[in-house]
Amino acid sequence: MADTTLMDKLVSLCKRRGFVFQSSEIYGGLGSVWDYGPLGVALKRNIKDRWWNSMVHGRDDIEGLDAAILMHPKVWEASGHVAGFTDPLVDCRHCKNRFRADDPRIKGTPGQPDAQCPVCGTRGSLTEPRMFNLMFKTFMGPVEDSAAVVYLRPETAQGIYVNYLNVLQSSRQRIPFGIAQIGKAFRNEITPGNFIFRTREFEQMEMQFFVQPGTDAEWFERWREWRMQWHHSLGLTPAKLQWHQHSGSELAHYARAAFDIQYEFPFGWQEIEGIHNRGDFDLGRHQEYSGKKLEYFDQAQNQRYLPFIVETSAGADRVTLTLLVDAYREEQVEGETRVVLGLHPAVAPIKTGVFPLVKKDGMPEIAATLYHELRQEFACFYDDSGAIGRRYRRMDEAGTPFGVTVDGDTITARTVTVRHRDTMQQERVGLDRVRQYIVDRLGATR
């Protein structure tokens, strides 16, 4: 399967089956903003739950937080975003399209007569690069003047830094400890694209770990290992995950060390999560700009210091895309193409389909009772329409790992057929055992 075709097929499957829709589609859509349909929201929620479980419920040393999207404008001065969160962009005077100055499709040097617009092909129409801030601005209160400007946060991390003392004191944690948050972030990306890979509104899953200076390198290595393990636990193909180390000019101004976890998408190796050793840059800047002391008094060591921060920052939408890309496959079965999303059972939006083989002989009644019992435990889907093979295929496309069919033997022997999505094998399981049978195979939640 050619790689571009895979993305096209995935986008169409996502729309057809209700994973992802274009935002405001009936008005022609809004550039690089997407909505999650019934299956998509379930998949993304399962990913976020798994992250939250591994970070917050599964550990004693990390607390949760949900900070507001709107923050004091000074936060973004202190963080460096007002001055530095910029990309160089050029405009085409002819067709009015806008590009990043380093867009590989541009031939020649923007601003010079030889430069050629990659869209309309006009020569000499590209402007000199100018810096463009990626933060969305809005106004707070009724007066639209610059005093009332606030930003939609471009990352969730700053909400954690400015609350670090509140969380520390209220939770009675001691360093080393972390704060985890999942929430929306907004970036006015110049070249968004690749479906939900780079969008203007997205969700981040970020954890900031506060450590004693000098222990940061060690914690950084630990977090690197744990984060890669987490991605493996989602069932992603190991050979499609790799590390990318930031070096020299690639390193952000705040970072002492940075590694990305990359996945091999059809459009190349790309970042899905960043792990950064941020030193004391963030707390130092907030201390300076707010005038509030943000030091920690370490009783055991009898010393005061600004903690160093190790950050893990993943995109919930990117991880969702990664899972979809990794799971998509097509097989030839009895002369027909079978489309399967081989999602790990723990993240699959629906865990089990329940089907009466035919709509008679008491089968629908037993199937409906079973369906109501199973859905108390996990997400199920009841389907009694069409040939059983078609019903299985519909569940394959949705990534549902199990199908339970109530048939003639259910009436006589109190057993059901359990059909496995990946192997298409079927086995008979006692009606009273089927709930536990599936629970045992859904995989741990963390």
Residues that bind ligand ATP (CB under 6 A): 155, 187, 189, 198-199, 202, 204, 271-274, 313-315, 317-318
Nearer to ligand ATP by C-beta: 257 or 340? 257
Q: How far is the CB of 305 from ligand ATP (least distance, A)?
A: 26
Whether 213 contacts 308, CB under 8 Å: yes
| CA angle 146–152–155, rounded 5-degree value | 130
CB of 81 to ligand ATP, least distance (A): 11
- Nearest C-alpha neighbor of 318 from the set 260, 239, 245: 260
Residue with Cβ nearer ligand ATP (157 or 438): 157
Distance of closest approach, residue 322 Cβ to ligand ATP, in angstroms: 9
- Long-range contacts at 52-55 (CB < 8 A, ≥ 24 apart): 52/180, 52/182, 52/205, 53/445, 53/446, 54/230, 54/233, 54/446, 55/178, 55/180, 55/207
CB of 341 to ligand ATP, least distance (A): 21
Q: How far is the CB of 36 from ligand ATP (least distance, A)?
A: 13
CB of 216 to ligand ATP, least distance (A): 18
Tokens of 412: 């006589």
In the block, tokens 């996502």 appear at 14
CB closer to ligand ATP, 47 vs 348: 47
Report the residue number whose CB is nearest to ligand ATP. 315
Of 281 and 381, which CB lies nearer to ligand ATP in the complex structure?
281
Closest distance between ligand ATP and the C-beta of residue 197, in Å? 6
For residue 313, the minimal CB distance to ligand ATP (Å) is: 4
Q: Which is nearer to ligand ATP, 189 or 384 (CB)?
A: 189
CB of 325 to ligand ATP, least distance (A): 14
